[in-house]
Amino acid sequence: MGRPSKVQPSREGSSRRDFFKRSGAGAVAVATATPLLAQTTGPVRFEHGVASGDPLADRVILWTRVTPAAARPAITVQYVVATDPALAQVVQRGSAKTNPGRDYTVKVDAAGLKPGTTYYYRFSAEGVDSPVGRTKTLPTTGVSSLRFAVVSCSNHAYGYFNAYARIAARADLDLVMHLGDYIYEYGARQYGSVRTPEPANEIVTLADYRQRHAQYKRDADSQAMHRQHPLIAIWDDHETANNAFKTGAENHQPATEGDWNARVAAAMQAYYEWMPVRPVDVANLRDNHRSFAYGDLAELLMLEERVNARSEQLTTAVHPTAFGAGFSTTDAGYGDPSRTLLGDAQEAWLINRLRTTPAQWKLLGQGVMFAQLKAPGSNQATDPGLYFINSDQWDGYEPARNRIFAGIQGDAANAKVNDVVVLTGDIHSSWAADLHPNPYNPAAYDKATGAGSLAVEFVGTSVTSPGIDTDTTGAVAGAIRSFNPHFKYVQLTRRGYMLMDVNRDRVVGEWWYVDTVASPSNVETFATAFEVRAGENRLRASAQTPNRANPPALAP
């Protein structure tokens, strides 16, 4: 798989692109975008809306950005937090300063709040008010349910964020989980031509990354989603550059784009300025793996898989002989246990959290597909085996994945870990899978019943980025399932989001699709649902879950 030319139009990650190349409900659309809510006149403007994120039981990050009419050395911003949308029942007031050194962004860690409570907030500066936002802290006790949306791959150039608007309209969600590719780094017409990116060039410098984040935050549907729900996010590769790893990226050429570490530092600085995210380690902004306890019902484990520790991706497919009995490959790296995706420290942290968390459900929020994905070689007559086809996924780090499986499976000193649910983005398509170290061995995993499965994975489609949009008959999806018995659902053509509904008995994953990303639309359709029941660790078909009754009012 060669590196694409810098002038090649309409490009994507080499592994995803090559996978696509190999693979060969009634409603009425309303063609109007959500109206912009930002103030447009005055000494300052709040033209990028408001956002909240990283909720804990007693605090939540509140975010906005002030745009002054002219450059200023500093601006003081006030904020207010209340328990009602009219902001009459105020529980907290405060102020913060911003300046050009932080691109006039404002981030407040509003502490001293009550657990499991919906709050409303607003910023103001020099007589100008921001829109009102709504957020929610995490509960600590008496937790019976959790309901949230999962999104990823929101490429502004490839279309409209209609999925964000549909999520914003759901008043009964506790949060939104974004699994990466919140922004894309490409220049104009390099990967999408529905809308023109700002700046028009590929982003490399701090000023570039800031401008791209600013464009995304001006989007009306993005503002609507952020205004209504707290966000828990982790980056994938496009927040820096395509197919990023610790020491470089497929889409980074040092000769023309400079030092990789400098580019990552610029991308991370802009990310933390523009996202409602709390840094875990201010000395190492590349690593932001962290967890969120939703009482003892669920723990959300967010994984960093790109720029902190990942080994460089391999470039050849691997042929596991006898369905995993050994390796026969032109690249010995597939069997190299030293190759890592998480790094030693994060891998140990993850296994320890899986084993020791008091939460019933362990929900892993992460970027790239965990389940194995294989396809036949080019000549089945002489080579009847199956090959891993995307080394950017966990398939390219098989020994590391097996260590996670071993942590789940348990040993003489550690009990088996039940109720692990992996949530994934990245691949611009929808998948549901049982997880097993060797699902191709019928003696180890029964595809009919799911017996042997250790965990499950729900993979959400993109907000806008394209999948295999030519698979209109489902032939490619069907072929994938025929080669990979652990996949229970594969849909390659539609955009939208996942809805996760969690209670003590089961976790349900639903796929909701928008009708188009080529223009603004309010049409969405429920497609299908799967569930994993407590203690079973395997997927079953499910029904659409009902909306919660009497949710807190949306922000006005």
**E runs forming strands in 399-523:** 420-424, 430-435, 455-459, 487-491, 496-503, 506-514
CA dist., res. 82 & res. 238, Å (int)? 36
**pLDDT tens, position by position, 362-407:** 999 999 999 999 988 766 666 667 888 899 999 999 999 999 999 9
Q: Are 222 and 276 in contact (CB under 8 A)?
A: no
Which residues have a Cβ under 8 Å from the Cβ of 65 and sit 6 or more positions away? 46, 47, 48, 103, 104, 105, 106, 214, 217, 274
Placement of tokens 């410098």 in the chain: 205
Residue 3 to residues 14, 192, 242, 331, Cα–Cα distance (Å):
7, 19, 11, 18
Token readout for 461 is: 């489609």
Distance CA 402, CA 436 (A): 9
- Size of the chain, expressed as the number of residues it contains: 556
Task: Find out whether the peptide bond into 199 is cis, omega within 30 degrees of 0.
Answer: yes
Tell me if 370 sits within 8 A of 422, measured CB to CB: yes
- Which residues does 263 contact at the CB level (< 8 Å), separation at least 6? 204, 240, 241, 252, 257
CA–CA dist 458, 527 (Å, integer) = 14
Beta strands per DSSP E along 203-356: 231-233, 244-245, 248-249, 290-294, 298-302, 319-321, 326-328
Per-residue CA distances from 52 to 5, 60, 175, 446 (Å): 39, 7, 10, 43
- Sequence-ordered list of residues with C-beta below 8 angstroms from that of 427, at least 6 positions apart, any chain: 16, 19, 368, 369, 393, 459, 467
Distance separating alpha carbons of residues 491 and 216, to the nearest angstrom: 27
Rounded to the nearest 5 percent, the helix, strand and coil shares of the chain are 20, 25, 55
Residues 226, 213 contacting (CB under 8 angstroms): no
Residue in the block written with tokens 């980074």: 252
Check residue 318 and give its pLDDT.
Answer: 62
**Structural tokens at position 501:** 């509904």
**pLDDT, tens only, 159-200:** 999 999 999 999 999 999 999 999 999 999 999 999 999 999
Write the DSSP assignment of 354-420 as a string of letters.
Answer: HHH---SEEEEEESS--S--EEE-S-TTT---EEE--TTSGGGGHHHHHHHHHHHH--SSSPPPP-E
d(CA 262, CA 518): 35
Query: Which tokens hold the place of 214?
Result: 């600013």
399, amino acid identity: P
pLDDT, averaged in runs of 10, over the chain (556 residues): 35 48 36 42 91 98 97 97 98 98 98 98 98 98 97 98 98 98 98 98 98 98 98 98 98 98 98 97 95 98 98 76 40 86 98 98 98 80 77 95 97 96 98 97 97 98 97 95 97 98 98 98 98 98 98 98
The closest of 420, 498, 418, 485 to 459, measured between CA atoms, is 498
Choose among 18, 24, 4: nearest CA to 395: 18
Task: Report residue 237 CA to chain centroid gap.
Answer: 11
For residue 454, give the nearest of 362, 528, 374 by alpha carbon: 362
Residue pair 98/48 in contact (Cβ under 8 Å)? The answer is: no
Backbone phi and psi for residue 237, each to the nearest 5 degrees, phi listed first: -90, -35
Select from 89, 143, 136 the least CA-distant residue to 117: 136
Strand, coil or helix: 320 = strand
pLDDT by residue (tens digit) across 19-57?
Answer: 544 444 333 233 333 444 444 567 999 999 999 999 999
Residue 187 per-residue DSSP state: -
Write down the pLDDT at residue 511.
Answer: 99
